[in-house]
Amino acid sequence: MRYSTASPPAVVAACLSDLPSATSGRIVIVVDASVLAVALGDDASDGRLARERLADETLAAPELIDLEVVSVWRRQVAAKRMPARRAASAVADLTNLPLRRSSHQPLLHRVWELQHVLTAYDAAYVALAEALDIVLVTADARLSRASGTHCEIEVVSAISDC
């Protein structure tokens, strides 16, 4: 089976069913853990830049984003780059964020097709953006250079790697 740039209707329908506001007239973007962890967990200039980019957008992501973002903060706390109290506050913010979380199950075939160029986690974000034909916003420049992707990938470039 070959993947075409047009997502199968069943995949699009499954993803859209998790995104009730996708047709509300507001622009929807897929956001990945690299930019969301900074937006919610960094009070300095990188965090401000990420928050400015995501402001007034309807955010969508595969449901795995919560675990990935919390994992980033756990590593930062362990490395003493983020106070545990600040991380706990960021977890509360993540819990309350009006982020449209989509099941990754309808995306698994496309995730597998991208196995040679992306991790399964990164491929889930790409597959969702492809299925919905919307931009993926990331702080991971490597992701934007991956071959074989069929979506626009915007890198918030001034953000340091997390």
| pLDDT over 90 (residue 159) | no
| Domain presence at residue 160 | no
To the question of whether residue 32 is assigned a binding role by annotation, the answer is yes
Asked, for residue 20, whether it belongs to a domain, the answer is yes
Can you give the residue range of the structural domain that contains 89? Answer: 9-155
The model's pLDDT over 71-128, given as tens digits with 9 standing for 90+, comes to 999 999 999 999 999 999 999 999 999 999 999 999 999 999 999 999 999 999 999 9
For residue 85, being part of any structural domain is answered with yes
3-state helix, strand and coil shares in percent for the chain, rounded to the nearest 5: 50, 10, 40
Would 48 be classed as within a structural domain?
A: yes
Counting the structural domains of the chain, the total is: 1
pTM: 0.84
Strand-strand pairing, 136-138 and 153-155: parallel
Check the annotation: does 43 bind a ligand.
no
Question: H or E segment at 138?
Answer: strand 136-138
d(CA 128, CA 136): 9
Tokens 């979506």 map to which residue? 151
Specify if 2 maps to a domain. no
Instruction: Quickly count: other Cβ atoms within 10 Å of residue 83's Cβ.
Output: 11
Task: Quick: pLDDT tens for 118-143.
Answer: 999 999 999 999 999 999 999 999 99
Domain with residue 70: its CATH number is: 3.40.50.1010
